Structure 1
Amino acid sequence: MPSCFSRFACLRVLVLVCMLFSQPLAAEALQEEILQLFPKATRIEPKQEAPPVYSVYQLDELLGYAFESSDYSSLQGFSGKPIRLLIGMDLQGVLAGVRVLEHHEPVFLYGLGVQPLLDFVDQYRQQPISRPIIVGGRRSDSADGESTTQFDGVSKATVSVVILNETVLQAAMSVARQLLEGFASGPLATAKSDLYQPMDWQRLLDSGYVQRWTLGREEVEAELGHPLSDFPAFEQADDSVPFSELHFAYLNAPSIGRNLLGEAGWQQLNEELLPGEQALLVMSSGLYRHVPADFTPATATSRLVLMQHGQAIELYDMNFNNGEVLATLATPLQAVDAHILRIKTHAAFNPAQPAALQLNVSLRRNHLVESHSHFSRAFQLDLQLFDIQQAVATAEPLPIWLRMWQQRIWQIGLLVGALILLSGVFIFQQRISAHSRGFHLFRAGFLLFTLGFIGLYAQGQLSVVNIFTLLLTLGHDFDIRVFLMDPLIFILWSFTFVSLFLWGRGLFCGWLCPFGALQEMLGWVAKRLRIRQWKVSERRHQRLQKLKYVILLGLLLAAFYSLSLAERLAEVEPFKTSITLFFVRSWPFVLYAVILLGLGLFVHKFYCRYVCPLGAGLAMLGKFHLFAWLKRIDACGQPCQHCKNHCEIGAIERDGRIDYDECIQCLECIVILNNDDQCVASISARKQAERAGRQQGRAGIIVSDWQPEHAG
């Protein structure tokens, strides 16, 4: 008991230590990843909230921003979970690189390995986001010389890398529109250039074109929790002087800017402002000015920011007229600091909407303690000063899943045509199966199409992993777009689901499964080489059939415990090795797939009959099929056993009934029934008819010979 107790105590201590240090360690690891993107960085600021980015500096020079894709994009990967990336971007909108922080894409976790994924993201380094980035396809050059950037995709992982690319671009453009020049549209309200009325200082104040904001000492002391005398900078301050008094005005409107700056100053302002930029005049007096005494001209002021829609907009000093702003201002104010501050285009400030000026106060009590607070003054400009533009409804880019469908349109058309053809074969199976040779040639050709086009080329192999993803997303954050990402997989699953309730599992397992087609072709090879087939007794056959249901149950339980564990255990399916990766994989997986295929040379479709969890799942749903399409006659099983002996999958009972849970609907039994030279009952009936005809013929000869003698 003491030993068990001590082990339990140690375990609790270990868990506590992990909880205490996991966050710092995670933060430290993220810092290392950012340094990989910005090797020259000497300082990384903590993550800010709006927008959520890490500002990266070399000494005091801003190099760019690092940000996590999960803060900007919720696109789900092929596994049903987002791909989490760390993205670096410089101030010109050029990507410093992309790092993969977390992903659950099965093809990279348990198939190709992680290296192809890392090679793919390396292509983003030094790529400008101003040019569209596409994965695969042909390079598209426009008439004006602007072209797209083409990335090499990853074979066998097309969907995953297209989603990753979309995630990078969504996140990067979102950051660029908020923080970088040239990526955001100008304001939706522009000052009327022809609206001007001469006004003096008092009229500007009375009309609200110039606004006054007085911040009293009492308000500041109440917010800081200390009297100003506790702060060394204000020990000798005059009690009659307000803490801060500010006057501010929006200069882009001629009725304000021309009256304040005069004609020459107004013209100079418009020459210095870049397209889409706006200007704000700020003058302050009192104990605490809007810029500190050591303020560096032509930089952003840290004490003053503009707030709109909950976003902080930085204000940059224009160093207008070499800083001698007061010399040009038509104002009676004296002993004030005055600056014309630039609002950059990317801030997307709308002067016709409510905003606020925020004064950030930072006061030092001693060399260890510093108090911080901020104060806001709301303001609304006169709407008559502006031309208000309605927001232009920019064309939303096509959803990524729709683009995937457009890119694979010919493959979709070919697959849909093949499914329509196959449906016709099943609907008119009685007529078509009457032509034995033609039907066998059609089936062989369709299986070659399934293996070559659906499987190896279009990567349309369905898997039990798809069922895991569906079951887990149905209960949490279901998004059909995850399944629409791969159009061929979506179409095949939709068709298979419908066909389960019409014909049962057999249509997919016997006709549309690439691995099943590969096994059937190995059966052709076995016949050609005359390889002797192993005889599985009826009793053992019944027991082995249950194995695949046990495997399915185990996988489903594992999926609800851990999807990653279930994806690993799903390697019981050799589909990824043989079809998706075409045996280009580590040797244990290849050996496992080869063994299963090798067994198929001696036991027809060994994997399908006894191991396949996907077939087991389809069989359970297929129990609710509406029609028993496979025709039976009275002679089937009583006494005829020809179809049973000819059924290589072992799905016909001794009494002639068909086990639809195991039947792959190869339609071979229907071919036998509808061909008089193959069906034993038909052959027997024909022989009986022939014997009866011969007997009648002999009887007619005897009668004809006897009648003349009787007459004589």
Structure 2
Amino acid sequence: MLYRILLPLFVVIHLWLLTSDAVQANEAVMSPTYAGKPLVDGLPLQALFPKATRFGDKEADLPVYAAYQLDELLGYAWLSDEINNLAGFAGKPIRLLIGLKPDGSFQDVTVIDHHEPVFLHGLGNESMHEFLAQYRNRSVRNQIIVGSAQNSQLSSQSDGGASGTVVFDGVTKATISVMIINDVVLSTALQVARARLEGFALPTQSRLLEKPIISQSWDALANNNLIHQWTLSQTEVEESLGRSLNSYPEFSNTTAPNTPFITLAYAYLNAPQVGVNLLGEARYKALMDRLTPGDHLLWVGSSGLYPHAEENYTPATVPSRLSLDQGGLSVEIRDINAPSEFNDIITPGAPRFSTAHFLRIKGSAGFDPGSPVDLKLHVNLARNHLISDSATFLSHYQLPDSEWEPVQIDTAKPLPLWIKLWMDRWVSVCILLIGLTVLIVSFIKQDRLSRWKHFHAFRWGYLAFTLFFIGFYAQGQLSVVNIFTLFHSIKDGFDITIFLLDPVIFILWIVTFISLFIWGRGLFCGWLCPFGALQEMSSWLGKKIGLKQIRVPATLHRRLIYLKYPIIGGLVAVSFYSLTWAEKLSEVEPFKTSITLVFIRHWPFVLYAVGLLIVGMFIHKFYCRYLCPLGAGLAAIGWFRRFELLKRVDFCGSPCQTCHHRCEIKAIKKSGEIDYNECVQCLECIVILNDEEQCVDKLLTRKKQKKATVSQRIPSVQIHQPS
């Protein structure tokens, strides 16, 4: 029989995966440029600064190494986790060696050690090396956007020592990890630059003065430098680009040479004198209430041939055509997506602008309202689909000193990375919460739902949502690796921010954990597991094409269901000995191959995952029932479940065996009792129980009612004995 060879075959294939070239190749964490090179204090500092003739000792106040060529300073090197030990997705810090030159540009960034599973046992470390290589010669002054949908050509406008927007290519399927890397690189580099390099110290901070608000016209505000107006002519742009605007398809039909290329006005709204005059007191207060304490707000309006935001600009994002610099450092400005009623400017004499936005500067950016700023307009025009020309134009501005006074510096605490990640993924979070709400309400109303004639369509629709949205799009496949992270976090000192780094995974774990005490493992295993949904679909396909279904004998089934428990126990135990080996052994889960990497992986892993799905076409949810360590872990917690919410009646098990035979997961015993440690809450037994054509109890009840009705209709006859 097929099932007699499946388990030995599984063991052989898994051992093969562990020793295959695909896994061994990923063990070389360090880039080949640095591996095997001479070490200084245990680090490849010489490879980082090849021209260095000597290195200083690690400094006491800031753990950096100074690199010198004779007596000339070449830069500083440091280990990222000694300045910022932010944990990675696996719960351990990503250890990077970072080099910074005296002009503030990166010498290089390389990885020394990490435990990110998507790189170690999925995409490969080469993907991480390629991402890190993008920092080379970029400046700490740059505004670096990772994987932004904004115009990536902006990165070509900035060299390593210039301030400007730089767009890095992210790593598909490793968004969380590269965001953590970027946050660590920039935060540590900025700290080193401000402490050791000239020209990077924080500017003197300022505080807005409290003063009576005087009603002023647009011209008065402009004359008092409370609003800055800037007009850029077509001629100025053509001179910078070196060719006529007619050379670009976007402007080939322009017939008004006197029309400004752009007329742009901007103002610092935190100054009440400005904000109240532009918006009115009520709207100004409402707008400022939307900000976090310490945040700053700019208003920008423009008109002309080239507005400051492109037509397809996405609200609540960083504008690609504008950037803001202060003190030589880039300051992030992001649209707050204000309601349309805030767009009307009430100032007498205010011109009409075709485009306007409110741009927020986070309090953590260290922005000083009293110091000069440079607003940059980035012009990028395509000659054709291959060639484009770029130019950057600057507008200098400083808020009048009548509006502010200098104060002692008060450095704002940076916004935690997990909050940034939640903000970036708010759409996915909202969709997930809606989907989870629908599922939880459905489970609460499961008896009513099971009577609905469209129940099966609803279930298949939700499984499709789980596979394609939660799994492939939102990357919400829970894994036994998450359990490693939890145990190691408890051992090393629990820090919830590690788990908050991925909002989708965090929400799913919270809902799953709570559900274990109410419904058992079934809510997740039967409805929220993307690979479980994929198995359901493969099983359906097997039946649809007529494959003979293999029924595992009851005795063997009862033994096999316990196989997954030593697997989870062994994995957790190994993780305390070697997290690296535990991550390798966790390849028993085909989740990374099938869901995270969508089968784009080295062929042995794909063969294993596809093999499990093929087996599932003959044996319903074979992997879930017998091998899944995550399911075992959830079932173990599910033993503490307080409720048995799946309806049973006296006929269940004796004499009726319908649900026992129809349960494909084999979670219903002959006695009619449900094994909640195995049940995936497909609710099919409830559908049967509420169906008068399938449930024996319902059929017998209906027969009795029918007999009673017939007997009532037969007239009684009195028989008289003859006298």
Give the whole-Å Cα distance in 2 for the aligned partners of 1:457 and 1:404: 16
Q: Which residue of 2 aligns with 1:156?
A: 173
Aligned positions of 1:478-517 closer than 5 A:
478-517=494-533
SS of 1:149 mapped into structure 2: strand
62, 67, 71: which one aligns with 2:78: 67
Q: Which residue of 1 aligns with 2:630?
A: 614
**Which residue identity does 1:34 align to in structure 2?**
L
38, 41, 61: which one aligns with 2:52: 41
Tell me the alpha carbon deviations over residues 314-335 of structure 1, each in whole angstroms, 9 at most, x when there is no partner.
xxxxxxxxxxxxxxxxxxxxxx
Give the whole-Å Cα distance in 2 for the aligned partners of 1:78 and 1:560: 17
Give the whole-Å Cα distance in 2 for the aligned partners of 1:146 and 1:121: 19
Q: Which residue of 1 aligns with 2:647?
A: 631
1:421 and 2:460 equivalent?
no
443, 450, 457: which one aligns with 1:433: 450
SS of 1:80 mapped into structure 2: coil
Would the alpha carbon gap of residues 634 and 398 (structure 1) be closer, same or farther in structure 2, given more than 3 Å must change? same
Give the whole-Å Cα distance in 2 for the aligned partners of 1:685 and 1:494: 43
Give the whole-Å Cα distance in 1 for the aligned partners of 2:650 and 2:408: 76
Tell me the alpha carbon deviations over residues 277-332 of structure 1, each in whole angstroms, 9 at most, x when there is no partner.
xxxxxxxxxxxxxxxxxxxxxxxxxxxxxxxxxxxxxxxxxxxxxxxxxxxxxxxx
The Cα of 1:612 is off from its aligned counterpart by 0.5
**Which residue identity does 1:502 align to in structure 2?**
I
Instruction: Determine which structure has greater relative contact order: mean sequence separation of CA pairs < 8 Å that are 6+ residues apart, divided by chain length.
Output: 2
Instruction: Give me the TM-score of the superposition, normalised by structure 2.
Output: 0.63
Matched length: 481
Aligned positions of 1:156-235 closer than 5 A:
156-185=173-202
**Which residue identity does 1:659 align to in structure 2?**
D
The Cα of 1:556 is off from its aligned counterpart by 1.6
The Cα of 1:139 is off from its aligned counterpart by 3.7
The Cα of 1:393 is off from its aligned counterpart by 2.6
1:568 and 2:579 equivalent?
no
SS of 1:55 mapped into structure 2: strand
Give the whole-Å Cα distance in 2 for the aligned partners of 1:500 and 1:187: 54
SS of 1:78 mapped into structure 2: coil
SS of 1:28 mapped into structure 2: coil
The Cα of 1:613 is off from its aligned counterpart by 0.7
Tell me, yes or no, if the aligned pair for 2:67 and 2:74 is still in contact at 8 Å.
Answer: yes
Aligned positions of 1:506-585 closer than 5 A:
506-585=522-601
Tell me, yes or no, if the aligned pair for 1:139 and 1:147 is still in contact at 8 Å.
Answer: no
**Which residue identity does 1:678 align to in structure 2?**
Q
Q: Which residue of 1 aligns with 2:689?
A: 673
Tell me the alpha carbon deviations over residues 505-545 of structure 1, each in whole angstroms, 9 at most, x when there is no partner.
11110000000000001111122112111121110000000
Aligned positions of 1:11-90 closer than 5 A:
28=39, 33-90=44-101
Tell me, yes or no, if the aligned pair for 1:465 and 1:570 is still in contact at 8 Å.
Answer: yes
687, 698, 704: which one aligns with 2:703: 687
Aligned positions of 1:309-458 closer than 5 A:
391-435=408-452, 437-458=453-474
**Which residue identity does 1:68 align to in structure 2?**
L
Would the alpha carbon gap of residues 486 and 186 (structure 1) be closer, same or farther in structure 2, given more than 3 Å must change? closer
662, 678, 685: which one aligns with 2:678: 662
Tell me, yes or no, if the aligned pair for 1:95 and 1:128 is still in contact at 8 Å.
Answer: yes
Give the whole-Å Cα distance in 1 for the aligned partners of 2:148 and 2:660: 51
Tell me, yes or no, if the aligned pair for 2:39 and 2:45 is still in contact at 8 Å.
Answer: no
Give the whole-Å Cα distance in 1 for the aligned partners of 2:130 and 2:609: 28
**Which residue identity does 1:171 align to in structure 2?**
T
Aligned positions of 1:242-281 closer than 5 A:
none
84, 106, 112: which one aligns with 1:95: 106
Would the alpha carbon gap of residues 187 and 669 (structure 1) be closer, same or farther in structure 2, given more than 3 Å must change? closer
Tell me, yes or no, if the aligned pair for 1:501 and 1:624 is still in contact at 8 Å.
Answer: yes
Q: Which residue of 1 aligns with 2:128?
A: 117
Tell me, yes or no, if the aligned pair for 2:466 and 2:529 is still in contact at 8 Å.
Answer: yes
Give the whole-Å Cα distance in 2 for the aligned partners of 1:175 and 1:506: 51
475, 488, 513: which one aligns with 1:459: 475
The Cα of 1:695 is off from its aligned counterpart by 5.1
SS of 2:78 mapped into structure 1: strand
SS of 1:101 mapped into structure 2: strand
Give the whole-Å Cα distance in 2 for the aligned partners of 1:187 and 1:514: 53
The Cα of 1:433 is off from its aligned counterpart by 1.0
Tell me, yes or no, if the aligned pair for 1:69 and 1:86 is still in contact at 8 Å.
Answer: yes
The Cα of 1:42 is off from its aligned counterpart by 3.6
Give the whole-Å Cα distance in 2 for the aligned partners of 1:441 and 1:100: 49
Tell me, yes or no, if the aligned pair for 2:139 and 2:163 is still in contact at 8 Å.
Answer: no
Instruction: Report % sequence identity.
Output: 54
Would the alpha carbon gap of residues 544 and 425 (structure 1) be closer, same or farther in structure 2, given more than 3 Å must change? same
The Cα of 1:644 is off from its aligned counterpart by 0.9
Tell me, yes or no, if the aligned pair for 2:205 and 2:410 is still in contact at 8 Å.
Answer: no
Tell me, yes or no, if the aligned pair for 2:657 and 2:672 is still in contact at 8 Å.
Answer: yes
Q: Which residue of 2 aligns with 1:251?
A: none
Tell me the alpha carbon deviations over residues 482-517 of structure 1, each in whole angstroms, 9 at most, x when there is no partner.
100000000000000111111111111000000000
Would the alpha carbon gap of residues 69 and 132 (structure 1) be closer, same or farther in structure 2, given more than 3 Å must change? same
The Cα of 1:45 is off from its aligned counterpart by 3.3
Tell me, yes or no, if the aligned pair for 1:188 and 1:389 is still in contact at 8 Å.
Answer: yes
Q: Which runs of 5+ in 2 are unaligned?
A: 1-35, 156-161, 207-404
1:477 and 2:488 equivalent?
no
Would the alpha carbon gap of residues 665 and 678 (structure 1) be closer, same or farther in structure 2, given more than 3 Å must change? same
Tell me, yes or no, if the aligned pair for 2:79 and 2:95 is still in contact at 8 Å.
Answer: yes
The Cα of 1:54 is off from its aligned counterpart by 2.2
**Which residue identity does 2:444 align to in structure 1?**
I
Tell me, yes or no, if the aligned pair for 1:138 and 1:150 is still in contact at 8 Å.
Answer: no
**Which residue identity does 2:563 align to in structure 1?**
L
**Which residue identity does 1:161 align to in structure 2?**
V
Would the alpha carbon gap of residues 661 and 188 (structure 1) be closer, same or farther in structure 2, given more than 3 Å must change? closer
The Cα of 1:399 is off from its aligned counterpart by 0.6
SS of 2:75 mapped into structure 1: strand
SS of 2:518 mapped into structure 1: coil
Tell me, yes or no, if the aligned pair for 1:504 and 1:619 is still in contact at 8 Å.
Answer: yes
Q: Which runs of 5+ in 1 are unaligned?
A: 1-24, 190-387
Tell me the alpha carbon deviations over residues 49-86 of structure 1, each in whole angstroms, 9 at most, x when there is no partner.
33332222334322222222122111011111111111
**Which residue identity does 2:414 align to in structure 1?**
P
Tell me, yes or no, if the aligned pair for 2:616 and 2:623 is still in contact at 8 Å.
Answer: yes
User: Which shows bigger deviation, 390-399 or 105-114?
Assistant: 390-399
Give the whole-Å Cα distance in 2 for the aligned partners of 1:186 and 1:450: 50
**Which residue identity does 2:66 align to in structure 1?**
S
Give the whole-Å Cα distance in 2 for the aligned partners of 1:29 and 1:40: 14
The Cα of 1:459 is off from its aligned counterpart by 0.6
The Cα of 1:43 is off from its aligned counterpart by 3.5
**Which residue identity does 1:128 align to in structure 2?**
S
**Which residue identity does 2:425 align to in structure 1?**
R
The Cα of 1:453 is off from its aligned counterpart by 0.4
Tell me, yes or no, if the aligned pair for 1:404 and 1:486 is still in contact at 8 Å.
Answer: yes
1:604 and 2:587 equivalent?
no
**Which residue identity does 1:105 align to in structure 2?**
E
Would the alpha carbon gap of residues 485 and 32 (structure 1) be closer, same or farther in structure 2, given more than 3 Å must change? closer
